[in-house]
């Protein structure tokens, strides 16, 4: 089975969607690399989007993503403020600088085709790239964006299945067995597996970099007001919530801001509002094509940062090492859902995104609050149990309604699930983590396609909208 690193689960990138933005972007970059040695004789490139990528591609910026990928820009490093300009220049000039190697004619209106009523066999999110050469030859490659920014190329075996880790984990039972036999916490097992790939200092530094991006995302978004792009006229709310909670306090950076929050007051209402505010902030930034971290997806990117920030600000015994522990544990729990079910809303509905992120956050919070591995796994199970069957029905195909608010609910459920697990005896639990993962997969299979990120059912049909291009 696939071996997944915590750094596969947590990836720095750009909103609004991991499967519809980052996945196609990554596929475009991979295609670019494949044909770059033939760029001199390249005459034309054509992109075809299928299934869910076509149905909600405009709202998710799939066309924007493939353009930027074909130009050679990476979602982790591209200056956010340059995205709009770069795409508009392609549209204006009708040309594209392919991989910064060769200028070729490119008309997004004609060269990116949305096949609304066609789905490729492997997955609902399919993209096919075709390039044509001056010697009258051509080449095509098909990729599938399978959730969380993960992609697979048609006809190519996933190399990650060959990755050897000292403690291979495919199921919750595997994880439980290793924790028991080694007398390790979940994070300790994960750390030893990660050490097969990189050094401890590299693991620490990269996880802290991921947390820094999460932290900056919350802070940045809490200081931006206005309307989100896309045509729904959704008002940012984190700005006013944060301002009301901060009152007259002054600060100059994110760490000073956090220090003020930690001082309080810490009433039930204020703590709950801050938790909601943190989650709203991330997904408002995600909806605005901002810099975020997949956790495990973009649409659910607010839950993990919100719950971790909740721990940083409101837990009595927070230590910096808890950040590493939290992310390692959350990453492993997320990988179990990816292996055993799916983290793609196009395959499993929103239970595969908000449900999984809530389970990850619940288990991770349980461990940093002193719970053992069984309580952490129980917390994850409880959180998912109460997201089973959740549909993905975004209005206008945008990651805004109900997606942004759902992150707040996922964060709140994670904290509650953690509290229940820490006050429970896992030995008496009737439902295991593996059982809820299996159930989530079965529910996904049974779920009507119109509730799987197609914008063809549910809330997406509440009212009709005429969307502008993102």
Task: Out of 92, 126, 160, pick the residue that ends a domain.
Answer: 160
Angle at 189 between CA 183 and CA 195, to 5 degrees: 135
Mean pLDDT of 376-398: 96
Section 290-309 average pLDDT: 97
- Residues 170-209: tens digit of each pLDDT: 999 999 999 999 999 999 999 999 999 999 999 999 999 9
- The answer to whether residue 468 is domain-embedded is no
- Shared domain for 280 and 416, answered yes or no, is yes
Largest CA distance in the chain: 71
Mean pLDDT, the chain, integer: 94
Which residues on adjacent β-strands are paired with residue 140?
Answer: 130
Average pLDDT over residues 368-379: 98
Are 38 and 177 in a shared domain?
no
| Residue 3 resides in a domain | no
Looking at the structure, do residues 170 and 59 belong to the same domain, yes or no? no
Q: Is residue 5 part of a domain?
A: no
DSSP string across 387-452? TTT--B--GGG-S-TTHHHHHHHHHHHHHHHHHHHHTS-GGG-SS-HHHHHHHHHHHHHHS-GGGB
Q: Are strands 42-51 and 112-115 parallel, antiparallel or unpaired?
A: parallel
pLDDT band for position 464 (cuts 50, 70, 90): low
Q: Are 136 and 216 in a shared domain? A: no
Q: Check whether residue 145 and residue 177 sit in a common domain.
A: no
User: Does residue 85 surpass a pLDDT of 80?
Assistant: yes
To the nearest whole percent, how much of the chain has pLDDT over 90? 90
Instruction: Say what the pLDDT of residue 468 is.
Output: 43
pLDDT of residue 469: 42
Q: What is the DSSP-derived secondary structure letter of residue 299?
A: T
Tell whether 108 and 173 lie within a shared domain: no
114-144 pLDDT tens trace: 999 999 988 989 999 999 999 999 999 999 9
**Domain span holding position 241:** 164-461
341 falls within a domain: yes
1 lies in a domain? no
Q: Is residue 4 part of a domain?
A: no
Prediction pTM value? 0.93
Domain-terminating residue out of 160, 175, 193 = 160
Residues 451 and 342 in one domain: yes
106: pLDDT strictly greater than 90: yes
**Number of domains within the chain:** 2
Q: Classify residue 8: in a domain, yes or no.
A: no
The mean pLDDT of 313-324, rounded to a whole number, is: 95
Q: How far apart are CA 307 and CA 299, in angstroms?
A: 16
Q: Which of 160, 185, 215 is the last residue of a domain?
A: 160
- Whether residue 195 is found in the same domain as residue 275: yes
Examine the domain organization and report whether 147 and 249 are in the same domain.
no
Identify whether residues 305 and 178 lie together within a single domain: yes
Query: Taking 90 as the threshold, does the pLDDT of residue 156 lie above it?
Result: no
Indicate whether 295 and 405 sit together in one domain: yes
133 and 282 share a domain? no
Is the pLDDT at 317 greater than 90, yes or no?
A: no
Does some domain include residue 7? no
CATH number of the domain encompassing residue 128: 3.30.1330.90
């Amino acid at each position: 089975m696939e071996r997944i690193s915590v750094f596969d689960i947590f990836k720095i990138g750009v909103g609004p969607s991991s499967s519809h933005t980052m996945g196609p972007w990554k596929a475009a970059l991979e295609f670019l690399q494949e044909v770059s040695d033939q760029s001199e004789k390249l005459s034309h490139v054509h992109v075809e989007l299928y299934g869910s990528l076509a149905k909600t591609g405009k709202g998710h910026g799939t066309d924007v993503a493939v353009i930027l990928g074909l130009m050679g820009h990476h979602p982790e490093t591209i200056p956010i403020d340059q995205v709009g300009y770069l795409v508009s220049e392609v549209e204006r000039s009708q040309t594209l600088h392919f991989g910064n190697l060769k200028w070729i004619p490119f008309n997004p209106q004609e060269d990116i085709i949305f096949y609304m009523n066609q789905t490729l066999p492997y997955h609902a999110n399919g993209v096919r790239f075709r390039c044509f050469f001056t010697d009258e030859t051509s080449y095509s490659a098909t990729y599938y964006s399978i959730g969380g920014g993960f992609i697979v190329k048609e006809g190519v075996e996933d190399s990650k299945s060959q990755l050897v880790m000292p403690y291979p984990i495919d199921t919750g039972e595997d994880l439980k067995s290793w924790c028991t036999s080694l007398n390790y916490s979940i994070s300790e097992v994960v750390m030893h597996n990660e050490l097969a790939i990189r050094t401890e200092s590299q693991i620490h530094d990269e996880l802290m970099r991921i947390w820094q991006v999460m932290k900056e995302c919350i802070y940045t978004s809490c200081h931006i007001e206005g309307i989100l792009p896309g045509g729904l006229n959704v008002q940012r709310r984190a700005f006013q919530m944060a301002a009301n909670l901060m009152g007259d306090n002054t600060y100059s950076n994110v760490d000073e801001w956090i220090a003020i929050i930690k001082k309080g007051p810490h009433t039930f209402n204020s703590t709950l509002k801050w938790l909601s505010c943190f989650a709203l902030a991330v997904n408002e930034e995600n909806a605005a094509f901002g810099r975020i971290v997949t956790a495990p997806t973009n649409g659910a990117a607010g839950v993990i940062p919100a719950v971790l920030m909740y721990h940083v600000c409101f837990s009595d015994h927070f230590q910096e090492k808890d950040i590493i522990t939290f992310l390692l544990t959350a990453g492993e729990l997320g990988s179990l859902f990816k292996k055993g079910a799916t983290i793609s809303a196009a395959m499993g509905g929103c239970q595969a995104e908000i449900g999984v992120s809530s389970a990850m956050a619940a288990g991770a919070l349980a461990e940093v609050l002193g719970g053992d591995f069984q309580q952490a796994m129980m917390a994850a199970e409880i959180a998912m149990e109460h997201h089973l069957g959740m549909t993905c029905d975004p209005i206008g195909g945008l990651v805004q309604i109900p997606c942004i608010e759902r992150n707040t609910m996922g964060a709140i459920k994670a904290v509650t699930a953690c509290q229940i697990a820490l006050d429970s005896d896992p030995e008496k639990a009737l439902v295991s983590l593996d059982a809820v993962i299996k159930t989530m997969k079965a529910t996904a299979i049974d779920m009507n396609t119109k509730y799987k990120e197609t914008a063809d059912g549910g809330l997406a049909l509440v009212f009709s909208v005429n969307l502008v291009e993102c």
